[in-house]
Amino acid sequence: MAISVLRGTHRLRFSPPWLARSSEASAFYNPQGRECYGIQSRFPELGPTVTAFKAGHLQSEPLDLRSKSGVAQCGFGLNRGRFSSTCVGRSLHITCPGVRRASTSAAAEAGTSQGPDPADGSLEDVEGVTVKHRFVSNGGQRLHYVEAGDPGGQLAVLLHGWPSFWYCWVYQLKPLVEAGYHVVIPDMRGYNLSDKPSNLADSGRYNLSDQPRNLADFGREPCLSDIKLLIEKSSGGRPANLIAHDWGGAIAWHFVRSYPHLVSRLVTLNIPETSTFNDALEHNKEQRKKSWYIAFFQIPFLPEWLLSRNNYKGLQIALKGSKPRTEELLRRHVDAFSRPGALTASINYYRAGGRGHWAPAGDPPGRVELPVKVIWGEDDVALGKELAAPPKELVPNHEVVFLPGVSHWCMWDDPERVSAEILDFLAKDVS
C-alpha cells in the first residue's frame, strides 16, 4: 500500500512497510470481496488533498470499512474514484472507530479494565510512589495531572509524547521523588483523562466540517497555556525544571522560547529542536522517509481505525522498543486510548501541525539561553541520530547524551540510566 499526500505542486509518496506486510490492507476490500483502487479526499475543509492508493480496479460500490468484530465501521464509499458519503449541507457525518472504547470481549482478552475515573484529590500507588490525581480548568477545558513528592521541593514538570499519557514516566517517578522534587505530570490536552476539545468525546460520531476548529484547539497557544497554568499553579513563584519526550518535547521547545522565565532547565528525550527537525524534513531525504507517518496522519479517520482495530494492536506495536513492555504498561495505554475521542485527539496534534497551528509563517525560532540536556536513544526508528544536537547558535548551553541499543522509548528501555542522567543534570550548579 502506498500513500501520497499532495500539497500544492509537492508530492510526498511513501509505502509504510508495516502496512505492506500486514493484513491491514484487507480494509480496502468492499463487502463483495473485490479490491478498490483508491480513496481521495476532496473536501476543502481538510486542507491538503490526501490520496491512498492500492493496486486493483476502480469500484463505484460503497466501501464498507469494518473490523472483523463489526464494532468499527464507517460510512465512506467510492464514487468514481472520489471520497463520498452522505452529506447534509456542509456537514459530513461519519462513525469513527478511533473514538470508541475497546469492546468488552477485546478488553477481556487483553486483560484491560477501565474502572471509574479517579476523583480530584484521589490517591494511587504507582511503583511504590503515592501520586495524587488532580484536575484544573483552563479556558473551559479540564486538564488532568498527577503530582507526587514534596510540594515545597523544586518543581519538575514531565511532558509525555505520542502515543502515551502521564504513565509514560512511571520509572522516573520514584527517583525524582526520592531526590526531593515536586513532580507534576499532566495528561496533555485530549489525552486520557484530560478533556477532548470541541466535539471529539461523544459516542463516536463527529462532523468533519468542524475539523478547522478542532485542530486549532491542538495548536501552539492552547497547549502552551496548559503548561503555563500548571507551572504557575504548582511552582510557588519559582521556575520549573521541564522534562519532555517526543511531542511533549516539541511542545517544551516552543514553551521555553515563549516563557523562558518559567523554566530553569530543559531535558528532552528523543525529540529534535524545532528548527533542526523542520530543516531535516525539507533537506534530509532519509528523515522524510522515516517521518512518513506525519503525512499518513493527515488522512481523516483511517489512522484511528488501523491503530485501534484488534484491541489496539497497532498502538501496542508503536510502543515497542529494545526491551519487552510489561502487561501493566500496555494495559494502561490501551485503556487510555480507548477512551472516547482520545485517539483522534492525540493524532490531531499532527494534523494541527500540518495546517500551520504550530509554526505560523514568519515566526523564526529564538535563542534558548537556559541549560538544556538532550538524552537520545540511538535505535530510534523514527528520528535519525544526526538530529539530536540542537544548533549552537540557537541553543548555546546544551549537552547531548547518546544511549546505544536504546529505542525511541529510552525512559522505558533504560530507565535507570535515563533517571540518573536527568538527576545529574538537575543537580548541577548552573549559576
Point out the residues that are catalytic. 246, 350, 408
| CA–CA distances in Å: residue 225 to residues 60, 138, 147 | 47, 8, 19
Running DSSP on this structure, what letter comes out for residue 389?
S
Q: Which residue type does 356 have? A: G
Q: Where are the beta strands (DSSP E) in 212-346?
A: 240-245, 263-269
Q: Smallest Cα–Cα separation from 385: which of 283, 280, 296, 293? A: 280
Question: Cα(92)–Cα(210) distance, rounded to whole angstroms?
Answer: 9
Count CB-CB contacts under 10 A for residue 392: 9
| CA–CA distances in Å: residue 426 to residues 306, 340, 362 | 40, 37, 34
Q: Smallest Cα–Cα separation from 168: which of 427, 410, 426? A: 410
Cell readout for 97 is: 472507530
Q: Smallest Cα–Cα separation from 305: which of 91, 1, 4, 67? A: 67
Cell readout for 115 is: 474502572
Residues 6+ away with beta carbon under 8 Å from 203: 340
Give DSSP secondary structure letters for 21-66: HSGGGGGGB-TTSPBP-EEE---GGG-SEEEEE-SS----SPP--B
Question: Cα(328)–Cα(326) distance, rounded to whole angstroms?
Answer: 5
194 backbone φψ class: left, alpha, beta (φ>0; ψ -120 to 50):
beta
Q: Strands 123-126, 129-138: parallel, antiparallel or unpaired by DSSP?
A: antiparallel
What is the sign of the dihedral through the CA atoms of 326, 332, 338 and 344? negative
